Amino acid sequence: MTPLLRRRPRKNPADSTVTLIGKPGCHLCDAAEAVIADVCGELGARWEKKDITQDEELHRKYWEQIPVILVDGAQHDFWRVDPDRLRKALTG
């Protein structure tokens, strides 16, 4: 079989970490957290929350985009989280 037709093995979501970067009182952050908690709970992926008001570098980098969602340290989304897109990113 040629390399182009070979399927890549599916990722194990338990090996991934989703990071939600936001701030308290942000309604978009609350909505993103609900989606992330549901998808990560369903797939067994780890997730964490970081507050831009407690970290100057995160504030400088992301303050106009919150909530920002990272998957394994790489920016995946901002403002809104699409559960299907997040699920696909976690399963390959």
Spatial distance between the Cα atoms of 14 and 67, rounded to a whole number of angstroms = 23
Question: What does each of the 92 residues of the chain score in pLDDT, given as a tens digit?
Answer: 455 665 666 789 999 999 999 999 999 999 999 999 999 999 999 999 999 999 999 999 999 999 999 999 999 999 999 999 999 999 98
What confidence score (pLDDT) does residue 6 get? 59
Pairing of strands 46-51, 17-22: parallel
**What is the number of helices (H) and of strands (E) in the chain?**
3, 4
The CA-based dihedral angle spanning residues 37, 41, 44, 50, taken in that order and rounded to the nearest 10 degrees: 20
